[in-house]
Amino acid sequence: MSRFGLRRWWLLPVFCAVVTPSSAFAQYVWKAIRLHVADSYTTEAHAAWGPLQGGFVYYSGQPGRGAIWRGTSEGWMDLTPPWADLGIIHGMDASGQVGQVGPAPNTYHAALWRGTPESAVDLNPGGPYFASSAYAIQDDQQVGQAAHASDGLPHAALWRGTPESFVDLHPPGAQWSEAFATDGEYQGGWFVPAAGGLHAIIWNGTAQSAVDLHPPGAVSSAVRDMAPGVQVGYVRWVGQSGHAALWRGTVASLVDLNPPGTGKSELYATDGTIHGGAAWFGGLGHATIWLDGADNVVDLHPLLGPGYAGSVVRAVWTDGRTIRAAGIAYPSTAPDEAWVWIGTRIETDAPKRR
């Protein structure tokens, strides 16, 4: 959540522009829509699927509320179940939403929804696991982390709809681990090995199946999202800031997607071909879409208008014609705000050869 305590009322909710990808014969007409809820202190959008965006709405002095928007700040749905003090939506797909609930004060449990507050399922496995959170969902899989009582540190977690289905994905010998993504078969995230550092990792349903994707010589790396055959996140090398990164299941497949002229970048979202995250232009993190490699990116930040110190895309969804990118904007003198950027594809003719 933001460090700021004021809110700007003069900001226009929608800005539009036409952006032409540099290596594709198509244009996207983009618009940015402010999802920030009137009278709330701060809002964030972490998830997207179809016309929906998910995240949280936080009112000053109150616990956060799990939120679903439909492309507008009006009429948002509060998914916080009646038996919980708080709710947060971290991920969603066609089948439901995942995140975190607080069944009691200062208690945090992973949760699964099927579109209504009443459908919420508390996924916390119990036993030695005293807290948990779910970050992503695909088909029958939900992933996240569960804190273990032995050391209080998180263990990467996999569920299939119930707390009884819980699988601890924590790699043998690791200090901590978290799963941030699933493609419905594999899981992805990071872990801290015994020697330290942060390593990108993928699993195939068990702790023993772990594959360390950390490239030799890197300082840290992480998988933040995935689609079938593709994992995205970041890698940081000695003497450098983090670079947006893409893998295809092996260390050797790593591709550096840091856009030319930017000093830092990170990927948080992918549908397999379109990726979302942030790239640092002029020293500020800007919400960015990658359409086709490091050279073909769309800087979405200018669509916010004046008064914003940064922004990030946290989720992407596309049907091939429309891209919806949900994320967060950081006003210079106010708390965080949920936004959604929508790009509509316009076909153009390829240039004729002479």
Classify residue 28: in a domain, yes or no: no
Classify residue 352: in a domain, yes or no: no
Please tell me the distance from the alpha carbon of residue 134 to that of residue 81, in angstroms, as a whole number.
16
With a pLDDT cut of 90, the percent of the chain lying above it is: 85
| Res. 7: pLDDT tops 80 | no
pLDDT digits (tens, 9 = 90+) for 164-203: 999 999 999 999 999 999 999 999 999 999 999 999 999 9
What per-residue confidence (pLDDT) applies to 121?
98
Please tell me the distance from the alpha carbon of residue 28 to that of residue 31, in angstroms, as a whole number.
10
Classify residue 44: in a domain, yes or no: yes
Number of domains forming the structure of the chain: 1
What per-residue confidence (pLDDT) applies to 295?
82
Tell me the mean pLDDT in the region 97-120: 96
Q: What is the CATH number of the domain that holds 145?
A: 2.130.10.120
CA 127 centroid distance within chain: 29
Quickly tell me which residue has 């700007």 as its tokens: 8
| Res. 323: pLDDT tops 90 | yes
Name the residue with higher pLDDT: 272 or 24.
Answer: 272
CB 26 within 8 A of CB 348: yes
Please tell me the distance from the alpha carbon of residue 275 to that of residue 83, in angstroms, as a whole number.
36
3-state SS, 207-240, equals: HHHCEECCCCCEEEEEEEEEECCEEEEEEEECCC
Classify residue 118: in a domain, yes or no: yes
Range of weakest confidence among 1-5, 229-233, 259-263, 343-347: 1-5
Classify residue 310: in a domain, yes or no: no
| Res. 153: pLDDT tops 90 | yes
Classify residue 14: in a domain, yes or no: no
Longest alpha-carbon distance in the chain: 71
Name the residue with higher pLDDT: 76 or 26.
Answer: 76
Classify residue 178: in a domain, yes or no: yes
pLDDT digits (tens, 9 = 90+) for 336-352: 999 999 999 987 655 44
Classify residue 85: in a domain, yes or no: yes
| Res. 23: pLDDT tops 70 | no
Domain encompassing residue 69: 39-287
Integer angstrom CA distances of residue 274 from 36, 92, 103: 25, 17, 37
Name the residue with higher pLDDT: 255 or 347.
Answer: 255
CB 120 within 8 A of CB 142: no
Q: Which residues contact 57 (CB under 8 A, 6 or more apart)?
A: 37, 40, 43, 64, 65, 67, 76, 78, 338
Backbone φ, ψ for residue 309 (5° rounding): -90, -10
Name the residue with higher pLDDT: 186 or 28.
Answer: 186
What per-residue confidence (pLDDT) applies to 294?
81
pLDDT digits (tens, 9 = 90+) for 57-97: 999 999 999 999 999 999 999 999 999 999 999 999 999 99
| Res. 16: pLDDT tops 70 | no
Tell me the mean pLDDT in the region 116-141: 97
What per-residue confidence (pLDDT) applies to 177?
98
Q: Which helix (H) or strand (E) holds 201?
A: strand 199-203
181 CB burial (10 A radius; 0-12, 13-18, 19+): buried
| Res. 2: pLDDT tops 70 | no
